[in-house]
């Protein structure tokens, strides 16, 4: 071609055909552009024809299952994977069943039309939903298995604790829970606490049984040693009148004191009395004891405020007074003084029984304060047991030697509720 030529912008689809004369037929479509003389554009020089093999184009136009790509020119389909669509109008595409997206080339005027099946969209969404449901179920199953794997040892330990509690209901207090190192800290603490509680309950039941047995033995002993109080009082009264007839007034006084002591001790033994009543009883008791000792005993009471009306169990102070006379005063030269003080210490009543006699040996003093039973001091052991029955762990006894001589016994017992109310009203 001589000279320069100008190719106009217009591009035309000339035709498309199928060569059926060969063993391998080719599907072609042809695009032509008119060529004119550059110096005289009115002079047509011819056409440039571009022939495109549709088989080569199909690999480019293939968009996957359920999707089609079409080349459209002036509303006519000029390129498609499905050859049946070539040459047909764009309107022939069913837009109700496909989702269409078109991109137009401004220079050539050709459009690339992507048609995607709505059904395939829905099917893909359904597949995705099913896939994620399966993933969620798989994750849930794995999560459940992990929870089971983690909680299985805990559930085994909890079941062991439940079984141990059931055995505890059957009075099997000796069974111990195994404290496993692989268990959590909380389960280990529960197991250790259960073992401690079981042991404590076992010990408490043993103590209750022992106390019940002691009470039973005491009741049996009381029944065996029981004497008709009226008979005893009548005999003492008869002896008293005999003493008066013979002008033995000192003996008469002693007999009256003994009768009062017996009446006080026998009537409602172990029940509550007042500090004032205990004071009157101790005065009569000292009267008889000093006759037995052969020496006078100075007895002094120091009772703070209104604590003379405070309630206390009968005969709690007598063993301490008896021990003072028996061990501190016997063989001690000088005046025998016995002082009993009553005051308040927080929520308790503080009673001090003090004497100016001999000291307690250090070893015995230590054993007494540790609560050990001391030979020949059965009265103190008896008081300890009574205090434990009456007040539990709220009552305290403490012994001390004082300088230059003498012993102090500190007794702390809980105040009764009515006394607390009176104190709070002051």
Co-location of 59 and 134 in the same domain? no
- 291: three-class secondary structure by DSSP: helix
Instruction: Report which secondary-structure segment, H or E, holds 300.
Output: strand 297-303
| pLDDT, position 21 | 54
Residue 390, pLDDT score? 82
235 in a domain, yes or no?
Answer: no
- The domain total for the chain is 3
Q: Looking at the structure, do residues 409 and 281 belong to the same domain, yes or no? A: yes
| Domain co-membership, 283 together with 415 | yes
Which residues form the domain of 355? 268-424
Indicate whether 234 belongs to any domain. Answer: no
Q: Is residue 416 classed exposed, middle or buried when 0-12, 13-18 and 19+ CB atoms within 10 A define those classes?
A: middle
Same domain, 18 and 103: yes
CATH number of domain containing 403: 3.30.565.10
Provide the token pair at 120.
């395939």
Instruction: Give the Å distances, CA to CA, from 214 to 81, 210, 219, 382.
Output: 110, 6, 9, 11
Q: Which residues of the chain have pLDDT under 70?
A: 1-31, 53-66, 81-83, 94-97, 108, 169-175, 218-235, 267-270, 375-378, 417-426
Domain boundary among 121, 146, 162: 121
Q: Is there a domain that residue 312 lies in?
A: yes
At residue 130, the pLDDT reads 93
What's the confidence (pLDDT) of residue 140?
94
What's 89's DSSP letter? B
One domain, residues 284 and 201: no
384 in any annotated domain: yes
Inter-residue contact 48 to 12 (CB < 8 Å): no
171 and 93 share one domain: no
First to last CA, the chain: 135
In 3D, which of 99, 71, 97 has the Cα closest to residue 83?
Answer: 71
Note the pLDDT of residue 137.
Answer: 94
Last residue of a domain, one of 91, 121, 151: 121
Of 2, 8, 3, 15, nearest in space to 34 by CA: 8
Residues 418 and 368 in one domain: yes
Q: Are residues 342 and 388 in the same domain?
A: yes
| Residue-level pLDDT at 175 | 67
Same domain, 335 and 307: yes
Which is it for strands 26-37 and 272-274: parallel, antiparallel or unpaired?
A: unpaired
Q: How many CB atoms lie within 10 A of CB 262?
A: 15
Tell me, what's the pLDDT at 1? 35
Is residue 272 within a helix (H) or strand (E), and if so which, with residue range? Answer: strand 272-274
256-314 pLDDT, tens digit per residue, is 888 777 777 776 666 788 888 888 888 888 888 887 777 888 889 998 777 888 888 88
Same domain, 275 and 401: yes
Handedness of CA 238, 239, 240, 244 (dihedral sign): positive
Residues 114 and 161 occupy one common structural domain = no
């Amino acid at each position: 071609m001589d000279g320069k030529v100008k190719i106009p912008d217009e591009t035309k689809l000339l035709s498309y055909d199928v060569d059926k004369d060969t063993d391998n037929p080719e599907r072609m479509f042809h695009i032509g552009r008119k060529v004119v003389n550059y110096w005289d554009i009115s002079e047509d020089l011819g056409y440039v024809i571009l022939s495109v093999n549709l088989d080569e184009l199909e690999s480019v136009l293939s968009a996957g299952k359920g999707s089609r790509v079409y080349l459209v020119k002036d509303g006519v389909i000029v390129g498609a994977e499905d050859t049946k669509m070539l040459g047909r109008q764009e309107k022939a595409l069913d837009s109700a069943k496909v989702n269409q997206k078109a991109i137009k080339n401004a220079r050539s005027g050709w459009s690339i039309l992507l048609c995607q099946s709505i059904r395939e969209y829905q099917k893909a969404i359904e597949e995705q939903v099913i896939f994620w449901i399966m993933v969620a179920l798989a994750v849930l199953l794995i999560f459940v298995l992990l929870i089971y794997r983690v909680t299985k040892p805990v559930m085994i330990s909890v079941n062991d604790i439940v079984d141990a509690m059931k055995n505890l209901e059957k009075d099997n207090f000796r069974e111990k829970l195994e404290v496993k190192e692989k268990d959590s800290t909380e389960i280990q603490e529960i197991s250790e606490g259960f073992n401690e509680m079981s042991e404590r309950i076992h010990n408490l039941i043993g103590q209750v049984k022992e106390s019940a047995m002691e009470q039973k033995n005491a009741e049996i002993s009381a029944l065996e040693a029981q004497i008709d109080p009226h008979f005893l009082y009548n005999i003492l009264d008869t002896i008293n009148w005999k003493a008066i007839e013979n002008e033995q007034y000192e003996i008469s006084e002693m007999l009256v004191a003994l009768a009062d002591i017996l009446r006080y001790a026998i009537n409602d033994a172990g029940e509550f009395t007042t500090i004032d009543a205990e004071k009157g009883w101790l005065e009569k008791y000292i009267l008889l004891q000093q006759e037995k000792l052969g020496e006078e005993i100075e007895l002094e009471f120091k009772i703070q405020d209104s604590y003379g009306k405070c309630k206390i169990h009968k005969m709690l102070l007598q063993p301490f007074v008896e021990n003072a006379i028996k061990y501190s005063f016997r063989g001690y030269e000088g005046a025998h003084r016995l002082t009993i003080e009553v005051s308040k210490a927080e929520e308790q009543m503080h009673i001090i029984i003090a004497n100016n006699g001999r000291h307690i040996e250090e070893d015995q003093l230590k054993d007494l304060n540790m609560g050990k039973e001391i030979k020949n001091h059965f009265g103190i052991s008896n008081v300890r047991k009574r205090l434990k029955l009456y007040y539990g762990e709220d009552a305290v006894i403490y012994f001390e030697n004082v300088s230059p001589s003498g012993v102090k016994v500190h007794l702390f017992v809980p105040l009764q509720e009515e006394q607390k109310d009176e104190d709070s009203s002051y």
